Chain A
């Protein structure tokens, strides 16, 4: 079916978007939500199952206390109220990857409710960003379903497949679903706000340490609800729900596309269908999910096999005390302390180096030096090795130690790179590597002076230029000296000697 898409700029001139985001976070508990099976990713299909998570007749659920703890910590980090008493409920619908044909979830009694999260959308012109307060309706606990794979179809979808396989390893893994209230007033920032919110949730989850937080592996999954209303009308339009949008960029694109699509339908006098949609990474479009919409009657009722969850206020306060600093607040604080520009800060965060830089600074390095090593030399090596920065065999303490040697002029930046080579090769401490590889800067003034004299003698033209006051030409002589010294000289001292001799 062809769709008329309205250009984004026109959409925001005539319509007000309303966003709603539902984020599922897979917790990293050792065991599943309601049984003792391991909750790890990547096992052979159907090896991490038991009577309970397979929904065998007679089996019963038992609540995972660690998952409740994680849920409360997430709720607290989102500034939510924590329920004094809440229950699980059954969400009834038939699907082959749901072992019991109901999902044990929470309905009208979530563990956490009425919170908010402030997110900042960066200004594209480099100015100060705009902050939006996202109101959180609820965060509740539930179990994941199994995973279906459809074999023989064109694109892995159920339509046209020859048969389907179901892996129940994932069935019963604890999930926290975080639901926003309708997010209004974002205008042309709607796609960026959606992206910034998902990003902020991910950062928060990472800081809490409650999930692997890997969008690419599905441990954080976002559903994007969007509706449009005529500008200034103050009403809410009919929404579409785009499921399982699996990267930050996709969140932004999905919102943008749906806005254009909705506007096209509304402009033509049509009405938007309340339905589930799929997002396509390849072209940034969405398509109808063919599944029944969420207007389906799930016949929720309290799970009779479980007793209510009633976290004591003392426990909630103990958990509140364990909360890490809010990542956004922390970022602002560190930027101030380090004196980074917005761009430097964004690059640092973007490279996943914030914690590494912080630890390197804590180990004694200057912030700019710490940033420089992690974002250039070490980022390149991580990229070459195809690993995350955090997985590199160099610790923040070692980086700080190398920088201390640079500061002491024992080595220079170029030699420091060779020290990192040694560290990555496991050759010992920076000092051991310098000794073993003979990397220390030559501090023998006689040898240095002789090398400068030699360079001046071999480059009379350049020497003349410097004598004439063209100091920029000194670089060429310094380079020649450094080459002569095989890099083991303090470039600053070489420059001083060159200028002294030619003044």
Chain B
């Protein structure tokens, strides 16, 4: 195994700049790692749905040529990246983990994909996910689950289990994820990696196949806080193609991460969210959380308990707004223009083809949410469900606003439990939904959040995530606090948490 793959993106960028390696060499090293450990739907990590070795090596060669000519475009030019399969990539299949899009090759790039291409990052491939990003385990992928590199009998989180596992298994130094209710942060927590959900509107959604438009956000998936900051600065910023993207200067995330890593949080006011703890929260998760809160105090922060009483309604609110939006978003998958097309025997009418295709192409969780959303928007029920949910959403935003009057950041465990065994919650949707209890409020309010590793739970030895939330457009605070926690804990552990993960063997 090449030692190159253990390096962070910032270190790889340094090595490229110093001429110690080439983009082709390190792209090849990651492709070799993918070949060795990623396996198939049946065994191995299975973080990737599609690997583009040829394309990535070509992009790497072009990057090396630019560097030789003194024309590198970006600090990360030449550092490879994996992209969640929900982002449109011109010329590369984009399935969203669904059979209904099997074989679809977009004719255009998502804005974030265009930005990483323009900066020169070779794209290793597309990562696995729950179908249309619906799930917290990646088990709802139509192409088989991703397995957690810490224990391949367990889930890697979801919906972005592929991106998190790819980074955790050293198959990619960087990945792009999307977070609608925790799909970047929860996989980060259960795989011992870093994941950031930016402020809503901070990163363009153009080319992100929408799950719930008012909640979705693209963000970085990495092994370190600094790497997330580097990637976040690259993908952030106004996009005229996304009306909801914020027309404001991009924050100084890299500077905030470097500042935070110095370990001084004197004067920082931290609020512990009272409602995000209690029965059903795994003791080992709460232990690591309490320990990390104590660490913040040691670094100079003032910690208080903050109550956000409406957060207990966040789950119910989320599961009305999200299905409503997705029931409409997914209507376009009708076999008329692209994707799967099933023609029933004896009835080739458009209506019959639409029905048969959607029946065959969508999985159970997708159908469940389409039905809930269709119901919630129906005449006579709209006010009681969708309308009411929007009102509660406003109250949740007000709870955040009130809390941020007294504190600079809010903290909680990212997820109530560590990674659970594959299959355990597959037949119990409500238990699965509870995985996102702590991450959902941020999406409803549009505020940014980060999950950083907080250590391993005593009872199962699996990673625990520590979540930091900040006010809208104050994403830099996530990096300052996240980097401080990361630096102190890494020092305490004597190295990165992923050093504790088992060494992966390639499938025989």
Residues of A in contact with B (beta carbons under 8 Å apart): 51, 54-63, 90, 92, 94, 96, 99-102, 164, 166, 297, 299-301, 304-307
Which B residues are in CB contact (< 8 Å) with A90?
328
Let me know if B310 is at the binding interface, CB within 8 A: no
Q: A92-B331, A299-B374, A301-B324 are in contact. Are A55 and B337 (CB under 8 A)?
A: yes
- A194 CB to closest chain B CB (Å) equals 29
Let me know if B452 is at the binding interface, CB within 8 A: no
Give the nearest-CB partner of A36 in chain B: B241
Question: Given A56-B107, A56-B338, A94-B331, 16 other A-B contacts at CB below 8 A?
Answer: A57-B96, A57-B104, A57-B106, A58-B87, A58-B110, A58-B207, A96-B350, A101-B332, A166-B336, A299-B377, A301-B377, A305-B210, A305-B244, A306-B243, A306-B244, A307-B244
Contact A62 B325 (CB under 8 A): no
Query: In the assembly, what is the distance between CA of A67 and CA of B497, in Å?
Result: 55
Let me know if B205 is at the binding interface, CB within 8 A: yes
Contact A58 B379 (CB under 8 A): no
Which B residues are in CB contact (< 8 Å) with A100?
331-332
Query: In the assembly, what is the distance between CA of A56 and CA of B87, in Å?
Result: 12
Query: In the assembly, what is the distance between CA of A109 and CA of B350, in Å?
Result: 33
Contact B328 A299 (CB under 8 A): yes
Give the nearest-CB partner of B325 in chain A: A304
Give the nearest-CB partner of B348 in chain A: A163
CB neighbors of A among B171-211 (8 A): 205-210
Which A residues are in CB contact (< 8 Å) with B377?
92, 299-301
Query: In the assembly, what is the distance between CA of A466 and CA of B443, in Å?
Result: 102
Which B residues are in CB contact (< 8 Å) with A55?
332, 337
Let me know if B240 is at the binding interface, CB within 8 A: yes
Give the nearest-CB partner of B216 in chain A: A304
Contact A102 B106 (CB under 8 A): no
The 7 closest A-B pairs by CB, nearest first: A101-B331, A304-B213, A299-B377, A304-B214, A57-B209, A58-B88, A58-B207
Choice from A54, A56, A59, A301 contacting B382 with Cβ under 8 Å? A301
Contact B209 A58 (CB under 8 A): yes
- A65 CB to closest chain B CB (Å) equals 12
- A382 CB to closest chain B CB (Å) equals 44
- B336 CB to closest chain A CB (Å) equals 5
Query: In the assembly, what is the distance between CA of A61 and CA of B205, in Å?
Result: 11
Contact A60 B205 (CB under 8 A): yes
CB neighbors of A among B209-246 (8 A): 209-210, 212-214, 240-244
Query: In the assembly, what is the distance between CA of A62 and CA of B242, in Å?
Result: 7
Q: A96-B350, A301-B382, A307-B244 are in contact. Are A58 and B208 (CB under 8 A)?
A: yes
Overall SS of chain A's interface: loop
Let me know if B334 is at the binding interface, CB within 8 A: yes
- B225 CB to closest chain A CB (Å) equals 29
Residues of B in contact with A (beta carbons under 8 Å apart): 87-88, 94, 96, 101, 104, 106-108, 110, 205-210, 212-214, 240-244, 324-325, 327-328, 331-334, 336-338, 350-351, 354, 374, 377-379, 382, 386
- A219 CB to closest chain B CB (Å) equals 26
- B91 CB to closest chain A CB (Å) equals 14
- A299 CB to closest chain B CB (Å) equals 4
Query: In the assembly, what is the distance between CA of A84 and CA of B2, in Å?
Result: 62
Query: In the assembly, what is the distance between CA of A265 and CA of B446, in Å?
Result: 56
Contact A60 B241 (CB under 8 A): yes
- B28 CB to closest chain A CB (Å) equals 30
Query: 21 interchain pairs (CB within 8 A)?
Result: A56-B106, A56-B107, A57-B94, A57-B101, A58-B106, A58-B110, A58-B210, A59-B108, A60-B206, A63-B243, A90-B328, A94-B354, A101-B332, A297-B378, A299-B327, A299-B328, A299-B382, A301-B324, A301-B382, A305-B210, A305-B243
Most buried by B among A58, A99, A102: A58
Query: In the assembly, what is the distance between CA of A100 and CA of B333, in Å?
Result: 8
Query: In the assembly, what is the distance between CA of A301 and CA of B373, in Å?
Result: 11
Query: In the assembly, what is the distance between CA of A146 and CA of B208, in Å?
Result: 24
Contact B334 A94 (CB under 8 A): yes
Which B residues are in CB contact (< 8 Å) with A92?
327-328, 331, 377
Which A residues are in CB contact (< 8 Å) with B210?
58, 305
- A48 CB to closest chain B CB (Å) equals 15
Which A residues are in CB contact (< 8 Å) with B96?
57
Choice from A57, A62, A96 contacting B88 with Cβ under 8 Å? A57
Query: In the assembly, what is the distance between CA of A90 and CA of B108, in Å?
Result: 24
Choice from A54, A62, A299 contacting B337 with Cβ under 8 Å? A54
Choice from B107, B331, B354 contacting A51 with Cβ under 8 Å? B107
Query: In the assembly, what is the distance between CA of A46 and CA of B88, in Å?
Result: 21
Which A residues are in CB contact (< 8 Å) with B214?
304
Contact B213 A305 (CB under 8 A): yes
Give the nearest-CB partner of B104 in chain A: A57
Query: In the assembly, what is the distance between CA of A307 and CA of B213, in Å?
Result: 12
Contact A99 B332 (CB under 8 A): yes
Query: In the assembly, what is the distance between CA of A307 and CA of B241, in Å?
Result: 12
Query: In the assembly, what is the distance between CA of A63 and CA of B241, in Å?
Result: 10
- B210 CB to closest chain A CB (Å) equals 7
- A456 CB to closest chain B CB (Å) equals 85
- A2 CB to closest chain B CB (Å) equals 29
Give the nearest-CB partner of A92 in chain B: B328
Which A residues are in CB contact (< 8 Å) with B212?
304
- A97 CB to closest chain B CB (Å) equals 9
- A158 CB to closest chain B CB (Å) equals 9
Which B residues are in CB contact (< 8 Å) with A58?
87-88, 94, 106, 110, 206-210
Contact A60 B354 (CB under 8 A): no
Query: In the assembly, what is the distance between CA of A158 and CA of B101, in Å?
Result: 28
- B415 CB to closest chain A CB (Å) equals 26
Contact B379 A299 (CB under 8 A): yes
Choice from B206, B324, B333 contacting A59 with Cβ under 8 Å? B206
- B228 CB to closest chain A CB (Å) equals 23
- A342 CB to closest chain B CB (Å) equals 49
Which B residues are in CB contact (< 8 Å) with A101?
331-332, 334
Which B residues are in CB contact (< 8 Å) with A96?
334, 336, 350
Contact B382 A57 (CB under 8 A): no
Query: In the assembly, what is the distance between CA of A62 and CA of B238, in Å?
Result: 13
Query: In the assembly, what is the distance between CA of A299 and CA of B379, in Å?
Result: 6
Q: A297-B378, A301-B324 are in contact. Are A99 and B337 (CB under 8 A)?
A: yes
Which B residues are in CB contact (< 8 Å) with A61?
243
Query: In the assembly, what is the distance between CA of A306 and CA of B214, in Å?
Result: 10
- A88 CB to closest chain B CB (Å) equals 10
Which A residues are in CB contact (< 8 Å) with B110?
58
- A146 CB to closest chain B CB (Å) equals 10
Query: In the assembly, what is the distance between CA of A51 and CA of B206, in Å?
Result: 10
- B366 CB to closest chain A CB (Å) equals 14
Query: In the assembly, what is the distance between CA of A110 and CA of B101, in Å?
Result: 36
Which A residues are in CB contact (< 8 Å) with B325?
301, 304
Which B residues are in CB contact (< 8 Å) with A60?
205-206, 241-243
Query: In the assembly, what is the distance between CA of A96 and CA of B354, in Å?
Result: 9
Query: In the assembly, what is the distance between CA of A307 and CA of B87, in Å?
Result: 22
Query: In the assembly, what is the distance between CA of A54 and CA of B108, in Å?
Result: 12
Give the nearest-CB partner of B354 in chain A: A94
- B92 CB to closest chain A CB (Å) equals 13
Query: In the assembly, what is the distance between CA of A57 and CA of B351, in Å?
Result: 21
Contact B240 A62 (CB under 8 A): yes
- B365 CB to closest chain A CB (Å) equals 18
- B237 CB to closest chain A CB (Å) equals 16
Query: In the assembly, what is the distance between CA of A158 and CA of B132, in Å?
Result: 33
Query: In the assembly, what is the distance between CA of A61 and CA of B334, in Å?
Result: 20
Which A residues are in CB contact (< 8 Å) with B87?
58
Contact B328 A301 (CB under 8 A): yes
Contact A301 B386 (CB under 8 A): yes
- A57 CB to closest chain B CB (Å) equals 4
Which A residues are in CB contact (< 8 Å) with B241?
60, 62
- B387 CB to closest chain A CB (Å) equals 9
Query: In the assembly, what is the distance between CA of A299 and CA of B382, in Å?
Result: 8
Most buried by B among A57, A102, A299: A57
- B221 CB to closest chain A CB (Å) equals 19
Contact A62 B243 (CB under 8 A): yes
Query: In the assembly, what is the distance between CA of A306 and CA of B107, in Å?
Result: 23
Which A residues are in CB contact (< 8 Å) with B331?
92, 94, 100-102
